[in-house]
Chains A and B, each alone.
Chain A
Amino acid sequence: MRATKSTRVKRRVLREAVAENLDVIRGIPPRSVRPGNRFLRIWTRRVLFVAVPLTLVGSTYVISQTTPQPITVAALPLRPVAAPPQVKAVVSASALQTERVTSAAFPLAVRRVVIDAGHGGSDPGATTSEIQEKEITLDIGRRLRALLERDGFEVVVTRDRDHTIALKDRALVANQSKSDIFVSIHVNALAKYTESRGIETYYLGATSDPSLTALAAAENRVSGYSMADMRKLLDGIYADARRDESHELASAVQRKLYASLRKSDPGLENWGVKRAPFVVLVATDMPAILAEVGCISNKKEAALLRKADYRQEIADALFEGIRAYSGANDPQQQKGSEQNG
């Protein structure tokens, strides 16, 4: 008897494991984050329960409106009201559409880009005796802006000079401009590991890594958000298109940054694409990333970051990453590249 129960449980979990994999392949969100299926079933039943009589009444009303002459019921042959197709339409439109529609279903090109040069004003970010993070990020941001505008993108910047701007206001600028993507530029500093140097790109997500929590806390310092605001923002995080798109953008930028910069600095490490709860990523409405484009705590890297040529290389790589992401989403560019290829 126990063996039978065990076999039954095994069959069920295996079936569920396969279903979850098929969901991943098809790009459907995990069952746990989909709109509650139980409620969906209840509401589907309720919609049917309400829709059938309503449709019948509605159809009768339409018939009565289009046939205003007084007629006797007995004079009319009984005709079935076309309820089933209408009921089906009501249900399929409102309740049965549970599968997430991915952005791939309606490819949109990136037109407007927000460039967020990290830190500024009274918040210098990471510093050495010779250079400050706020100067590097502003310079790279300006270079990136020029490249994007030359290529036909519209650009919005959160700061174009050395002044303090709260993270909350950076997000506000981005959201009010209704931009398509948000790119925040930062430079790393690792006090304990001065030998290490690498690049990494973040997108929004929770992390259980204490070092990333510490990094996010440092970068979130001038946020302007209260704890209650933060909780509300975090409650609004959803496992859907925006996170996936941010991940795509982060991957494209990280690939281009690493491929390009390691030519100038072969010892540069690729620290990959990571998730972390930076405020600017949480509070912005569009796909958003935060690129740590270098490591100021490493002497060799700091020397490179002081050079205009190297900062231009970083801006070029960021531009290429944005273009790659934008191209992947732009049907016209895709078509063009297929023809070219």
Chain B
Amino acid sequence: MGDSILHVGIDLGTSRSAISASNGERFVVDSFVGWPLDMVAKKVLKRDVLIGHEAVSNRTMLDLHRPLERGLLKEGSEKDVEAVRELLKHLLKLVGVNGKVKASDVRAVVGVPAAALRTNKQYLRSSMKGIVDSLLIVSEPFAVAYGLDALLHTMIIDIGAGTTDFCVMKGRYPTEEDQRTLTIAGDSIDTQLLKLTEDRYPQANVTIFMVRDWKENFSFVGDVKERCVVTAPVKGVPTELDITNEIKAACETILPPIIETMIDLLARVEPEFQERVRNNIILSGGGGLIRGLAHELETALKSVGGGSVRYMEDPVFVGSDGGLALAIDAPEGDWEKLTA
């Protein structure tokens, strides 16, 4: 049985979902699922369901769903449950499940926001029945910490699309006191950037999808030398727009709540360990790629004695890799207990 088992770590994100598998495969997909709106669309698309970037690209022909809200499965919506099941099936198929590996041989660890309620976890667990039966659900920043072997005197700040999760690792499984979740994250930057761009260029035709791409290409806080110039239709004519100030303003909206939460959590660490945690702060998630963010956080830390903030080189997979490490390390006896 041992050889046929496939361990996977899944970062089920509001915007993107990543999977890392013990067979060496790693994939990331946009967390969008769409069904053709009518028979014509079905005929054109030649598919019953589209997932990820493909779904976003063909969204005009689809009943498009983004099934995760603030990192959690939307509740009370059967279509969104179906969407998240399709997303999971797709992720598992990408790493070979149902091809070379049977679903019953999968051992999965899924990361959820730090503040996820017990009811949220129960709902996720029941929604995944039949796709992943052997399931361990952990807080996303904890998965990151585990993968980096940073389980002692470390603070993880995981900035996703729906949530920013904080977790102070104290050499134990984090409790509610050690963790925080803010809903100020990538999506709130998108909303701000869309509003600021529309305010400055009222005649430009801009969508949230365009704004998301711009943010991913140009996001920064503090000062940068180059200008952020994008192209968008103005009265139907492709036109170059300088959105440097708008990008900066939108990205900087997340700074005050992140700084406030970081310092508040640090103040709750036992005094003798505070300096060690201050010098061991790790940024992960897509938001970790915002240029200048680590520097701004370090500047803020000066008011409490200084500290060090570092980026992860591979922020997209750091959560799923951590989940994979947990899945591999969990003894088979524990997996038997966790099997639905």
Contact = CB atoms under 8 A, between A and B. Distances in A.
B337 A9 contact: no
Interface residues of B, number: 40
Contacts of B152: 9
B77 A209 contact: no
B338 interface: yes
A325 interface: no
B138 interface: yes
B137 A24 contact: yes
Interface residues of A, number: 39
Contacts of B329: 10, 14
B36 to A, nearest CB: 16
A254 B75 contact: yes
Contact of A270 (B76, B135, B138): B76
A273 interface: yes
Given A12-B172, A13-B151, A272 B69 contact: yes
B146 A18 contact: no
Contacts of A25: 122, 125, 338
Given A24-B121, A30-B118, A251-B76, A208 B171 contact: no
A247 B119 contact: yes
A254 B125 contact: no
Contacts of B181: 208
A21 interface: yes
A272 B338 CA distance: 28
B78 interface: yes
A270 B79 contact: yes
Nearest to B76: A254
Contact of A32 (B77, B177, B334): B177
B75 A272 contact: yes
Contacts, number: 103
Interface string A198-223: 00010001001100000000000000
B301 interface: no
A3 to B, nearest CB: 10
A20 B112 CA distance: 14
B118 A24 contact: yes
A255 interface: yes
Contact of B76 (A14, A17, A273): A273
A115 B121 CA distance: 30
Interface in B42-100: 69-70, 74-80
B330 A14 contact: yes
A231 to B, nearest CB: 19
Given A17-B138, A24-B122, A254-B76, A10 B146 contact: yes
Given A13-B146, A24-B125, A30 B176 contact: yes
Interface in A3-34: 6, 9-10, 12-14, 16-22, 24-25, 27, 29-33
B338 A17 contact: no
A251 B117 CA distance: 15
B5 to A, nearest CB: 17
Contacts of B121: 21, 24
B182 interface: yes
Contacts of A273: 75-76
Contacts of A22: 337-338
B119 A244 contact: yes
Contact of A258 (B77, B151, B338): B77
Most chain A CB atoms below 10 A, which of B70, B142, B152, B173: B173
A250 interface: yes
Secondary structure type dominating chain B contacts: mixed
A29 B121 CA distance: 12
Contacts of B326: 14, 17
B176 A9 contact: no
A259 B177 CA distance: 38
A13 B182 CA distance: 24
A42 B250 CA distance: 53
Contact of B172 (A13, A251, A254): A13
Contacts of B240: none
Nearest to B78: A255
Contacts of A24: 118, 121-122, 125, 137
Nearest to A33: B176
A9 B182 CA distance: 28
Contact of A208 (B78, B80, B119, B183): B183
Contacts of A21: 121, 135-138, 338
B337 A6 contact: no
B149 interface: yes
B207 interface: no
B175 interface: yes
B173 A251 contact: no
A10 B329 CA distance: 9
Contacts of B125: 24-25
Most chain A CB atoms below 10 A, which of B119, B183, B330: B119
Given A10-B146, A18-B136, A250 B76 contact: yes
B80 A270 contact: yes
B173 A17 contact: yes
Contacts of A255: 76-78
Interface string B120-146: 011001000000000111100010001
A250 B77 CA distance: 12
A40 B69 CA distance: 38
11 contacts: A10-B151, A12-B171, A14-B146, A18-B136, A21-B137, A21-B338, A22-B338, A32-B175, A208-B181, A209-B183, A272-B75
**3 cross-chain pairs, A with B, having the tightest CB-CB distances, nearest first:** A16-B173, A254-B76, A273-B75
Given A10-B149, A19-B173, 17 more contacts: A9-B152, A10-B151, A10-B329, A12-B171, A12-B173, A17-B142, A17-B173, A17-B326, A21-B137, A24-B122, A30-B175, A208-B115, A255-B77, A258-B76, A270-B80, A272-B75, A272-B76
